[in-house]
Amino acid sequence: MEIEVKSKDENEIVFIIRDAEVPFINAIRRIAMMEVPKLAIEDVNIVQNDSAMFNEVLAHRLGLTPLVSNLDAIDGMEMAYECDCEDYCPRCSVSFTLNKTGPGVIYSKDLVSTDSTIKPVYDTIPLLKLKENQNVELEAVAKIGLGKEHAKWMPTTVCAYKQYPKITFNEDSEVNYDLADVCPRNILKSDKRSKVLKVQNIENCSMCKACMRADENNYIDISFEPENFIFKIETDGSIPPEEVLSKACDVLNEKTDKFITFSKN
Ligand code: SF4
Ligand SMILES: [Zn+2]
């Protein structure tokens, strides 16, 4: 198997995997979304909330606020359900406090963490609005969890693959230059001088087949390479995308080890 990184930034990675099979790629996709642990606010103790927002809605908003959960930040922490404490402790959780008086908008940066490395990823997520003299005071406890338990623990906002597109032309048919105008993604370019239809940036082809439908002479054929894939992982900023990928591979490894041990016994 070969992997080629096409683009990478803080929150997004796009790569091509060659010589692989759908079940393997799909296992990585599902594990990256559902079984890579991250921190999210789970318990909220509200002391006072004078705002127009119901306590439940405020707690839900806090739960969906992305928190820094990269490997360094959560190193040594345990999953909440594996910890032997009664409710929560520093081994399995991080506490935040919020105490503000209006008027004004309360942002994610107003959450004060007990751990200097663990804080909201973005400072400017609006949480609620307070009118003059309205007060909000609460303690929020973040715990490590998995996306399969609740969407707030999903590190990925996009985690998808497609098979590598394949565009072929029927040399026996007449070149149909009009197909270049049909393609919504500018994949096809008519080159009347050299009497061909050129393909550019094939990885961007969505395989919508609009060109095939418009082609009465069966000049173009759209298919895919069954063993090659374009994979994209975008995260909410809590974990870098390459860490999500590497953790997903570790989890898959553990699962296969368990399966092998089980089948031997
Ligand atoms: S399948 Fe769709 S995106 Fe791909 S070349 Fe044809 S029209 Fe363009
Ligand atoms: Zn604990």
Q: What is the Cα–Cα distance from 68 to 41, expressed in whole angstroms?
A: 12
User: Which atom of ligand 1 approaches the CA of 210 most closely?
Assistant: 7
Is 84 found in the same domain as 183? no
> Could you tell me the CA-to-CA distances from 125 to 4, 120, 153 in Å, in that order?
35, 9, 18
CA of 84 to the centre of ligand 2 (A): 6
CA of 155 to the centre of ligand 1 (A): 31
Tell me which of 152, 167, 190 is where a domain ends: 152
- Does residue 26 lie in a domain region? yes
Q: How confident is the model at residue 193 (pLDDT cuts 50, 70, 90)?
A: confident
Which CATH number characterizes residue 94's domain?
A: 2.170.120.12
Is 183 found in the same domain as 213? yes
Is 168 found in the same domain as 185? yes
Q: Which residue owns the Cα nearest ligand 1 atom 4?
A: 205
197-208 in b/e burial notation, b at 16+ Cβ within 10 A? bebeeeeebeee
Task: Work out the mean pLDDT of the chain and round it to a whole number.
Answer: 94
- Does residue 119 lie in a domain region? yes
Q: Tally the domains of the chain.
A: 2
- Does residue 242 lie in a domain region? no
Nearest ligand to the CA of 94 is 2
Q: How confident is the model at residue 114 (pLDDT cuts 50, 70, 90)?
A: very high
Q: How confident is the model at residue 194 (pLDDT cuts 50, 70, 90)?
A: confident
Task: Provide the pLDDT for residue 80.
Answer: 83
Query: Tens digit of pLDDT for each residue in 127-174?
Result: 999 999 999 999 999 999 999 999 999 999 999 999 999 999 998 888
User: Which atom of ligand 1 approaches the CA of 199 most closely?
Assistant: 5
Pairing of strands 188-191, 196-199: antiparallel
CA of 58 to the centre of ligand 2 (A): 24
Say yes or no to pLDDT of 83 above 90: no
Tell me which of 98, 121, 152 is where a domain ends: 152
Is 164 found in the same domain as 110? no
Q: Which of 4-18, 190-204, 227-241 has the lowest mean pLDDT?
A: 190-204
Q: What is the Cα–Cα distance from 102 to 159, expressed in whole angstroms?
A: 39
Nearest ligand to the CA of 89 is 2
Is 52 found in the same domain as 130? yes
Q: Which residue owns the Cα nearest ligand 1 atom 7?
A: 183
**Where do we find the tokens 């975008």?**
234
Is 56 found in the same domain as 18? no
Q: Is the peptide bond before 37 cis (omega within 30 degrees of 0)?
A: no
- Does residue 260 lie in a domain region? no
Mean pLDDT along residues 183-195: 89
Q: How confident is the model at residue 180 (pLDDT cuts 50, 70, 90)?
A: very high
CA of 249 to the centre of ligand 1 (A): 32
Beta bridge partners of 101: 135
Is 161 found in the same domain as 30? yes
- Does residue 249 lie in a domain region? no
CA of 61 to the centre of ligand 2 (A): 24
Residue 16 CB contacts under 8 Å (≥ 6 apart), including other chains:
3, 4, 6, 164, 203, 228, 229, 230, 231
Tell me which of 103, 119, 152 is where a domain ends: 152
Is 61 found in the same domain as 144? yes
Task: Provide the pLDDT for residue 187.
Answer: 96
Task: Provide the pLDDT for residue 73.
Answer: 87
Q: What is the Cα–Cα distance from 105 to 167, expressed in whole angstroms?
A: 52
- Does residue 144 lie in a domain region? yes
CB 79 within 8 A of CB 38: no
- Does residue 94 lie in a domain region? yes
Residue 117 CB contacts under 8 Å (≥ 6 apart), including other chains:
68, 72, 73
- Does residue 93 lie in a domain region? yes
Residue 111 CB contacts under 8 Å (≥ 6 apart), including other chains:
62, 65, 96, 97, 98, 119, 120, 140
Domain extent for 140: 38-152
Q: Which of 18-32, 140-154, 172-186, 218-232 has the lowest mean pLDDT?
A: 172-186
Mean pLDDT along residues 242-256: 96
Query: Tens digit of pLDDT for each residue in 56-81?
Result: 999 999 999 999 999 888 888 988 88
Is 83 found in the same domain as 23? no
CB 84 within 8 A of CB 255: no
Say yes or no to pLDDT of 38 above 90: yes
Is 90 found in the same domain as 19? no
User: Which atom of ligand 1 approaches the CA of 204 most closely?
Assistant: 3
Task: Provide the pLDDT for residue 10.
Answer: 94
Task: Provide the pLDDT for residue 102.
Answer: 85
Task: Provide the pLDDT for residue 81.
Answer: 81
Which CATH number characterizes residue 196's domain?
A: 3.30.1360.10
Q: How confident is the model at residue 82 (pLDDT cuts 50, 70, 90)?
A: confident
Is 108 found in the same domain as 85? yes
Cβ neighbours of 239 (radius 10 Å): 28
Ligand 1 neighbours (beta carbon < 6 A):
182-183, 185, 187-188, 205-211, 222
Is 169 found in the same domain as 133? no
DSSP state of 120: B
